[in-house]
Amino acid sequence: MLRVTVVLASLIAVAACKSDDKKPATESKVGSAGSGTGTGSAGSAAPVAAKPASTLEQVKAWAPKGTTVKAAELKVPGVELFAVMQDKLTEDDYEAGALAGVVGGQGGKVVEGRELIKAVGDAKADAKTIARVALWAYQEEGELLDKPGNREQTKAHVTAPTIKGTTLKLWVWLDDPPKLLERGTVELATGALELGPLPVKPDVLISNAIRTLAASNVRRYPRAIELLAKTCAEPRSQQTLFAVLSSHARDQTRVAVTEEIHKCGAVAVDPLIFSMEHDKSAMVRAAAATALGRVGAGRARPALAKAARGEDANLVWAAKNALSKIN
Query: Of 155, 181, 197, which residue constitutes the final position of a domain?
Result: 197
Q: Say if residue 78 is in the same domain as residue 120.
A: yes
Q: Say if residue 221 is in the same domain as residue 260.
A: yes
Q: What is the mean pLDDT of each run of 10 residues along the chain (327 residues)?
A: 38 37 39 35 50 88 93 94 85 67 94 97 96 92 93 96 97 85 96 91 93 87 94 97 96 96 96 98 98 95 97 97 91
Query: Of 197, 223, 245, which residue constitutes the final position of a domain?
Result: 197
Please tell me the distance from the alpha carbon of residue 72 to that of residue 269, in angstroms, as a whole number.
Answer: 50
- Expressed as residue numbers, the domain containing 275 is 202-326
**Phi, psi at residue 321, to the nearest 5°?**
-65, -40
Q: What is the largest CA-CA distance in the chain?
A: 78
Q: Say if residue 94 is in the same domain as residue 229.
A: no
Q: Say if residue 54 is in the same domain as residue 182.
A: yes
Query: Is 221 strand, coil or helix?
Result: helix
Return the pLDDT at 327.
67
Q: Report the number of distinct structural domains present in the chain.
A: 2
Q: Say if residue 136 is in the same domain as residue 281.
A: no
Q: Say if residue 215 is in the same domain as residue 247.
A: yes
Q: Say if residue 161 is in the same domain as residue 215.
A: no
Query: Of 135, 166, 197, which residue constitutes the final position of a domain?
Result: 197
Look up the CATH number of the domain holding residue 207. 1.25.10.10
Q: Say if residue 167 is in the same domain as residue 233.
A: no
CB 76 within 8 A of CB 129: yes
Return the pLDDT at 29.
45
- CB environment 203-214: b (16+ within 10 A), e (fewer): eebbebbbebbe
